[in-house]
Amino acid sequence: MKVGDRVRLVALEYGTVDSLLPGERSLFTSMLRETFEVEEIDKYGSAWIYKWWNRGDGKSESHALALSAVEMELAESENAS
């Protein structure tokens, strides 16, 4: 895994979901099964992904999520044969 790789969010660890406010839970669970680019890898080996939501009227919201190995899978490259 490296910065720039594409990963699919396949699970959220229980502790992650449990620590969120109810409104945040729905945002993060809506990310399940989506594909994201790894933006950075921290010193613990977590892959950081980011998502932006357009809220209309020129407003947006974003969230970052640090993924462990069990929460993601490497997505197939669009250029793979």
In the prediction, which pLDDT does 78 show?
A: 57
Question: Is 44 part of a structural domain of the chain?
Answer: yes
Question: Is 80 part of a structural domain of the chain?
Answer: no
The yes-or-no verdict on residue 80 having pLDDT over 70 is no
Q: Which residue has the tokens 């462990």?
A: 68
- For 4-58, write each residue's pLDDT tens digit: 999 999 998 877 777 778 778 888 888 999 999 999 999 999 999 999 988 888 8
- For 36-46, write each residue's pLDDT tens digit: 999 999 999 99
Q: Tell me which residue of 54, 55, 71, 53 sits closest to 63, measured CA to CA.
A: 53
Overall number of domains in the chain: 1
Question: Is 81 part of a structural domain of the chain?
Answer: no
Question: Is 79 part of a structural domain of the chain?
Answer: no
Question: Is 26 part of a structural domain of the chain?
Answer: yes
Question: Is 1 part of a structural domain of the chain?
Answer: no
Enclosing domain of residue 51 = 6-74
pTM surpassing 0.75?
Answer: yes
Q: Which residue has the tokens 């020129």?
A: 58
Question: Is 31 part of a structural domain of the chain?
Answer: yes
Tokens of 12: 């959220």
Q: Do residues 65 and 28 touch, judged by C-beta distance below 8 A? A: yes
